Amino acid sequence: MNYFKTILIAVVYISISISVIHAQVHNKSWESITEKEEGPWFASKEAIAIAENVLLYQRDIGGWPKNIQMQKPLSEKENQELLAAKKSTKGCTTDNRATYQEMIFLSKMYRQVSDERYKNAFLKGLDYILEAQYDSGGWPQFYPLKKGYYTYITYNDDSMYNILRVLEEIKNKTDYFSIQPSEETVERVKVAFEKGIDCILKTQYKQNGVLTSWCAQHDENTLLPAKARAYELPSLSGKESAKIVLLLMSIENPSEEIITAVNSAVAWFEKVKITGLREDRFYNEKGKIIDKKMIPDPDAKPIWARFMELDDNTPFFCDRDGIKKATLAEIGAERRNGYAWYTNEPKEVLKKYPKWKKKYGIKPVETKTLKKKLKNEFNIVVTKDGSGDYTSIQEAINNTKSFPYQRVTIFVKNGIYYEKIKIPEWNTNISLIGESKENTIITYNDYFGKMNLGRNSTFYTYTLLVEANDFYATNLTIQNTSGEVGQAVALSVFSDRVVVENCNILGNQDTLYTSGDGNRHYFKNCYIEGTTDFIFGKATVLFENCTIHSKKNSYITAASTPKGAKYGFVFKNCKLTANEDVTKVYLGRPWRIYAKTVFINCEMGNHIKSDGWHNWSKPEAEKTAFYAEYKCFGEGFKPKERVSWSHQLKNRKAKKYTIENILGSKTVDIDYKWYANFK
């Protein structure tokens, strides 16, 4: 009797336990279920039922969609829909812990229940991760690639960190996962992990030559900080950087590069931590956050801003309009309350750092930079790795002689230089020479709305600004990467006697600004691209043997030539190209009514509109502007269909368009052929 009573009590107890567990699991998030401690529950009927959902949601490619509560029961209709979607790759991602969580769950299941389907699904997920990796070592947010910011290397919400933790456990052959891949796959994992770490080291941001932290997203090609959603601007991240550093600290016998990266990041965390401030949250009766306020509190524990300026670490906050604000209180309630703007995650880094440092006998990185004594002040070398005279182009310019009698050559070795560069009026006679135009890249991402300096904000958006006379540049890519967000200048030239040769000048609207009364500029063998008015200004400019590429149906030039100037923009032997979907491009329109623009011996693609020129709704400009062509060719050259107020030059007049006439000096103290003196 006692025996049966014992059994009955046990059965009742188990039933009650299962019921309680079911209630607990049903009310929990999928993330919390995957984080449950391994044990008998993963052999329960409830767990097995959830596992069926996990298998069903996995696509044939191996990945899973995000934000799915896998524990929720499925209807027969939902089952059929998921089976039909198996071959689809839409939505497969590693964002928001997707794929990572499902693999964790399947591993815990397989340790309790030897169902080969769990193992196969886990390994398929691993193959998906390996397949999705870029050659640069990073991972996109979605794979197959989804257009937009989703292609960027994604540290946001610890996406890449989670991937690398999976790979680390597998390559180290720990027992963290119950499923062990083949030796061949383990070797692939080792390679992928090393590439991932290398990517992390290469994307650590240098601020004035000093390593700091990481952005939430980095461009998959340039590796530079990149913009995601409107309120997620390029910035240094106090949140995502923490897990990256913890990952680097987990690597046994770290290399010198890893040690330097960790030391530098820790120094940065210490530098930018916020003290004396706490975040208070206010909830409604349903437990939803309805407000957040930052309250001064001398006893508050350190916190870090999620977004900080790339050049000076200043915290900032954004609403969906993408405009930076100085405080959390300045943005609307929806974004203020629905996003994590502060974090305390770096505290774990600072807690573990002393033990890590002691383990490897590591000395903190020396953050002070010693001024180098130049070997030759007229031949300066800039390198990213510190082997030259400077690591920053701006730093090199700042330390050159003012108004030198001798030409100063600044040689810039291959690398991506995320800098907003200004060559002041007193730094004359500078030659900025890149190692190669493909791999020596000067880039920045300011734009009109971001500058927010009033109606003239365009002129502050430059990546490179030249105010000094007698400037020469070659073998460089100069770009503004802000995208199609309005006016955003890559290169601004406000000086006289400037030569730019064999360079890429990249942007969208207002890519190249060439200005100044009487200033003369010479662009030779360059590639210049943009969308609207991407070559504009009032300087006299000769473009020779250049490729002029339109990325959008719009206008190539917007000259503002001063009244009385003999020449404005002159294009000789150039090639006009466009994106495949571009079919309606004007050669130019007058920013000011005396605009002058001439195309000579240029090949024009079929994207050029037959009427050629536009008056910008300024009828008076049809009498004052001078727009002309001479012996051009290609599908876009249709002289008989051009607007009546444009010109086709006669031979006699075309002969006047020589380099000597266009650019030649009229003063006795300057060489007449100044444009040939810089090499």
- Whose CA is closest to 465, among 501, 503, 423, 429? 423
Predicted pLDDT at 287:
85
Residue 13's pLDDT band (boundaries 50, 70, 90)? Answer: very low
Tell me the C-alpha distance between 416 and 224, whole Å: 8
Predicted pLDDT at 21:
38
**In this structure, is residue 657 part of a structural domain?**
yes
Range of the domain at 535: 531-679
Tell me the C-alpha distance between 46 and 37, whole Å: 16
**In this structure, is residue 138 part of a structural domain?**
no
On the question of pLDDT at 655 being above 80, the answer is: yes
Q: What is the mean pLDDT of residues 574-594?
A: 96
The residues that bridge with 409 in the sheet, in sequence order, are 379, 431
Predicted pLDDT at 374:
64
| CATH of residue 273 | 1.50.10.20
Residue 676's pLDDT band (boundaries 50, 70, 90)? Answer: confident
* Domain final residue pick, 367, 399, 423: 367
On the question of pLDDT at 367 being above 50, the answer is: no
| CATH of residue 650 | 2.160.20.10
Two structure tokens written together for 676 = 């040939």
Residue that wins the pLDDT comparison between 646 and 367: 646
Predicted pLDDT at 17:
38
Tell me the C-alpha distance between 566 and 552, whole Å: 31
Per the CB < 8 A criterion, the answer to whether 593 and 621 are in contact is: yes
**In this structure, is residue 508 part of a structural domain?**
no
Q: What is the mean pLDDT of residues 437-462?
A: 89
Helix (H) or strand (E) holding 282: strand 277-283
pLDDT in tens, 216-267: 999 998 899 999 999 999 999 999 999 999 999 999 999 989 999 999 999 9
pLDDT in tens, 130-159: 999 999 999 999 999 999 999 999 999 999
Residue 41's pLDDT band (boundaries 50, 70, 90)? Answer: very high
Predicted pLDDT at 435:
95
**In this structure, is residue 543 part of a structural domain?**
yes
* Domain final residue pick, 331, 351, 367: 367
**In this structure, is residue 242 part of a structural domain?**
yes
- Whose CA is closest to 538, among 523, 557, 511? 557
Q: Lowest-confidence range among 110-119, 345-354, 441-450, 521-530?
A: 441-450
Mean pLDDT of all residues belonging to the chain? 91
* Domain final residue pick, 321, 340, 367: 367
CB-neighbour burial class of residue 639 (10 A; exposed 0-12, middle 13-18, buried 19+)? middle
**In this structure, is residue 563 part of a structural domain?**
yes
User: What amino acid is encoded at 291 in this protein?
Assistant: D
**In this structure, is residue 73 part of a structural domain?**
no
**In this structure, is residue 411 part of a structural domain?**
no
On the question of pLDDT at 364 being above 90, the answer is: no
Per the CB < 8 A criterion, the answer to whether 554 and 533 are in contact is: yes
Predicted pLDDT at 670:
54
Active-site residues, by number, are 510, 533
Residue 209's pLDDT band (boundaries 50, 70, 90)? Answer: confident
Predicted pLDDT at 679:
57
Residue 391's pLDDT band (boundaries 50, 70, 90)? Answer: confident
Q: How many domains does the chain have?
A: 2
